[in-house]
Amino acid sequence: MADLLQITHPGSGTERELAITDATIRATELRQFVVEGGPLATYDPGYVNTASCRSSITYIDGDAGILEYRGYPIEQLAESASFLEVAWLLLNGELPNASQLAEWEQLITEHRMLPDKLKTVLAGFPYDAHPMTILMASTAAFYSFYPDAQNFTDPEARALNIARLIAKMPTLAAFAYRKGKAKPYIAPDDAYGYCHNFLAMLFKQAERRYHADERLIRAVEVLFILHADHEQNCSTSAVRSVASSGNDLYTCVSAGVGALHGPLHGGANEAVLKMLREIGTVERVPEFIEGVKAGRVRMMGFGHRVYKNYDPRARVIKKAVDDVFEITGVNPLLEVAQELEKYGLTDEYFVSRRLYPNVDFYSGLIYEALGFPPEMFTVLFAVPRTAGWAAQYQEFITDPEQKIARPKQIYTGYARRDYVPLDAR
C-alpha cells in the first residue's frame, strides 16, 4: 500500500493526501495548499532537509557512520582498490574487470599532459597566488582548449572529456604547486601510476628517476579514494547547479573547485593545521576548548552536516597517519590533535551536538608529513574529488527529471513604492 501523508490546512479547509516516495514528498505538491501569501512552499536555508536529485553513486548513513560508493564500503575500497579503479566504479556503476581497468589506466596516462598554451595562463598568476585559485581558473580555461565538452549529451564526447579532466588534474595541481615554489614544471611520466606520477611531478628534483616509498604512494592512493565522492555536498551541488543551465564539464568542475575552497568545506583541512599550529602545545588545549564553547572559535575538522557519528573516512585516515608517521617521523602536532579529539569525544558541548572528527581532522597532518604546504591541502582534495564531480555531472546530464536550478525566496523587502527624483531625496 502506498504510504501517504495526510495534511489539513484549517485556514482554507484544504485537505489532501500526499504520496510519500523514498521517504520524501514532492515539494510542488504543497502548492495545492493556498495559504496567506500564496501557494505553500518549504523554507530550507542550506537545503538541510531537501533532496535535490535521485542518485545511485554514493550512499551515506550519517547516524551509523557508513559511506559506500556504488554499494561498496569505503573501508574495503581503501583497503584493496586503486584510485583509478574507484574512479571507474563511480563513473560506470561497477568495478572494472582487468582489461577495462588496463584500458582506463592507459587512457588516463595518454591524457595527462596539459595544453602547452595553458602554461601562459599559469604564468600570468602572481607568484604567491593560492593554488586553489590557479586550479579553479585553469579548470575553467580547459573549456577553451576542449570546446567539444559542450557536446555533453553525446556519450563519447562526454567520456573523453571526463577522462581528460581526471588525467590532467594532478598535472595542473603539481604545476600550481611548483609555480608557487618558482620551480620548473615536471612533465608527467608514463612509467608511473596515477599517484606515483603525481608525487613525481610535485617533488622531483634533478634525479633521473623519482623514487617514492611504496607505503607513501599507497597513503596518497588511500586519501584519494576517501575523497573521491561524498554525494550532495556543497561543491557537488555547485557542480550540478552550474550544469543545470547547460554548461560543459570544465565550467562546472571549476565551480566545484571554488565551492570546495571555503573553510567550512574542503578548506577545513588547511584551517585544521592553522588551528593546530596556533594552539601549539597540549597544555593550551583546555584554553582553546573554552574558546570553542564560548562561541569565539570553531574546532575545525569537527562536525558535519550529515555525520552525527565518527566520519568513517576519518577512521581510515587515522590509521593511515600511523603508517605514514612510521616512515616520515611523527608530526609533533599529532599530540595536540589527539588531545583535542579526546575533548571532542567526551566534553558535553561536543557530545550533545554530536560533533565528531570529520575527514579533514587528520588529513592535514599526513599532507604535512608528506611535505605539502597547507595551501596545497585543499588541492589534494580537489584532485580526487574530480572523479566524483564528473560522475555526478554525468548522472545529472542523463537524468530526465532534472531542471535548471532555481530556488524560491521569501521576499522581505519593501512593498511597491514610487521612484523619488534625485533632487527630492
- In the bound state with ligand ACO, the residue whose beta carbon lies nearer, of 197 and 241, is 241
Q: Which residues contact 400 (CB under 8 A, 6 or more apart)?
A: none
Site string for ligand ACO, 328-367 (x = CB under 6 A): -------------------------x-x--xxx-------
Rounded Cα distance between 334 and 366, Å, is: 10
Listed ranges 68-76, 239-247, 259-267, 398-406: which one lies at the site for ligand ACO (CB under 6 A): 259-267
Q: Is 130 a catalytic residue?
A: no
Measured from the Cβ of residue 238, the count of other Cβ atoms closer than 10 Å reads: 22
CB of 274 to ligand ACO, least distance (A): 12
Cell of 345: 569525544
- In the bound state with ligand ACO, the residue whose beta carbon lies nearer, of 121 and 299, is 299
- In the bound state with ligand ACO, the residue whose beta carbon lies nearer, of 84 and 359, is 359
Listed ranges 87-95, 173-181, 265-273, 392-400: which one lies at the site for ligand ACO (CB under 6 A): 265-273
Site string for ligand ACO, 202-241 (x = CB under 6 A): -------------------------------x--------
Q: Are 288 and 192 in contact (CB under 8 A)?
A: no
Q: Are 354 and 56 in contact (CB under 8 A)?
A: no
CB of 48 to ligand ACO, least distance (A): 7
- In the bound state with ligand ACO, the residue whose beta carbon lies nearer, of 173 and 299, is 299
Point out the catalytic residue in the list 360, 399, 418, 423. Answer: 360
Which residue's CB atom is positioned nearest to ligand ACO?
Answer: 303
Identity of the residue numbered 76? Q
Rounded Cα distance between 359 and 267, Å, is: 11
Q: Is 304 a catalytic residue?
A: yes
Point out the catalytic residue in the list 111, 196, 304, 311. Answer: 304
**# residues contacting ligand ACO (CB under 6 A):** 19
CB of 253 to ligand ACO, least distance (A): 17
No. of H helices and E strands in the chain?
17, 7
Listed ranges 27-35, 84-92, 261-269, 280-288: which one lies at the site for ligand ACO (CB under 6 A): 261-269
Site string for ligand ACO, 281-320 (x = CB under 6 A): -----------x-----xxxxxxxx---------------
- In the bound state with ligand ACO, the residue whose beta carbon lies nearer, of 188 and 364, is 364
Report long-range pairs for 118-125 (Cβ below 8 Å, ≥24 apart). 118/142, 118/145, 118/172, 119/175, 119/185, 122/175, 122/176, 122/179, 125/179
CB of 88 to ligand ACO, least distance (A): 23
* b/e burial code for range 174-190 (CB count within 10 A of at least 16 → b): bbbbbbbeeeeebbbee
Rounded Cα distance between 34 and 36, Å, is: 7
Q: Is 360 a catalytic residue?
A: yes
Q: Are 72 and 225 in contact (CB under 8 A)?
A: no
DSSP letter string, 130-199: -HHHHHHHHHHHHHHH-GGGG-TTSHHHHHHHHHHHHHHHHHHHHHHHHHHTT-------TTS-HHHHHH
- In the bound state with ligand ACO, the residue whose beta carbon lies nearer, of 202 and 300, is 300
Point out the catalytic residue in the list 148, 265, 323, 347. Answer: 265
Measured from the Cβ of residue 263, the count of other Cβ atoms closer than 10 Å reads: 16
Catalytic residues: 265, 304, 360
Residues binding ligand ACO (CB under 6 A): 233, 264-266, 268, 292, 298-305, 353, 355, 358-360
